[in-house]
Chains A and B, each alone.
Chain A
Amino acid sequence: MCDSCGCDHDHEDVTIAVPGRPAVAGESHDHHHGPGRTLRVEQDVLAKNNHLAAHNREWLEGHKIFALNLVSSPGSGKTTLLEQTIRRLNGTLPVAVIEGDQQTLLDAERIDATGAPVVQVNTGAGCHLDADMVHRALHTLAPPDRSLLFIENVGNLVCPAMFDLGEAAKVVIISVTEGEDKPLKYPAMFAAARLCLINKTDLLPHLDFSVARCMEYARRANPDLTFFTLSARTGDGMDEWLTWLNDAVRSA
């Protein structure tokens, strides 16, 4: 409580800044409160995104579409994994894809070449997909009932963790070239995910990456994670992943 003005702000925790001027610390608290009306708002800034995500989730569940939100650093192999997954499913399960990138249609073109329906969302400066973008993409894509929907998020291990899209689960992909310490450096993403895919295992002989240690680090952030180790390049480990997908869609 501020003794000099009786306002209810804890000054140590508060910084006050006027746009265009450097921020100042709590002691120089602005004591000119003026005659304005103060209205309680008490609303979460992400409430609107969460509301739209709930709407997406309800729609997807109503159509028995099992949606996975794929998150990773750039280049961990998300698109390659999707190409291989779609080719190996070979039409046994309908698959549709929403691709998120800041720019270009490149990933959507790679998915298009597999024959699966795809839409590309370009976020421009945005570093993540949000529920509104996915909502609009769903209208264009119109995935069929009882299908599998992959949402490839923008390559970024930070921001996508904050934005619920309405997916059934987040899948975090880490490639062995990134180093096994990523789960310790970006725990929020691993905490938010249900699955963790360790990709590019064909490169393990050339590296000192320890799969066991990576898993141990990831479990620190999230003890309930399910792991798959695979190589989207050679196909090693893909069968377990495909079995999991088939089971998940059937019970969606």
Chain B
Amino acid sequence: MHEMSLAMSIVELVATEAKAAGARQVNRIELEVGTLSGVLVDSLRFCFEAAARETVAAGAALVIREIAASGRCPACGVEGAMAGLLTDCPGCGQYLVLDKGRELRVVSITVDE
């Protein structure tokens, strides 16, 4: 379950940012997660709750913005949604090349409400 180590990385990253800003409590964390990032969102939430315990991010709400994966066909240039890494071009049947959907990023934190 790599979501646990990702959750611990999120807590560490957020704690560093909060400390730099002189904040005592993080109330909200905004995350971007691509649908092909390899992260199970429910599992990440579960792990985050445990990882954040007794840290500056304890009890913070995780606001997760899922980014739908999409790509472009290298042959005909058509763009399309990607349900998996191996998604056929709707135009010519070649595989689409992913350009969005691998994100796993902390966008913002809200502190000291």
Contacts and interface: CB of A to CB of B under 8 A. Distances in A.
Interface of A: 9-10, 13-20, 23, 30, 33-49, 125-128, 130, 158-159, 161-163, 184, 187-188, 191, 220-221
Given A9-B65, A33-B110, A39-B109, 11 more contacts: A13-B67, A15-B41, A36-B110, A42-B108, A45-B10, A45-B31, A49-B9, A125-B1, A126-B4, A158-B38, A159-B1
B17 interface: yes
B104 A44 contact: yes
B54 interface: no
Closest 7 CB pairs of A and B: A36-B113, A34-B113, A159-B2, A19-B49, A187-B85, A36-B110, A41-B106
B79 interface: no
Given A39-B17, A45-B6, A20 B113 contact: no
Contact of B38 (A30, A162, A184): A162
A73 B64 CA distance: 30
A42 B113 contact: no
A46 B32 CA distance: 13
Contacts of A161: 38
B25 to A, nearest CB: 9
Given A13-B66, A126-B4, A46 B45 contact: no
A159 B59 CA distance: 27
Contacts of A46: 6, 9, 104
B56 interface: no
Given A42-B105, A45-B10, A16 B112 contact: no
A35 B27 CA distance: 11
Nearest to A14: B65
B110 A38 contact: yes
Interface in B84-113: 84-86, 95, 104-113
16 contacts: A15-B64, A19-B61, A23-B45, A30-B61, A36-B110, A37-B111, A39-B23, A40-B107, A42-B107, A43-B106, A44-B105, A47-B13, A49-B9, A127-B1, A162-B2, A220-B95
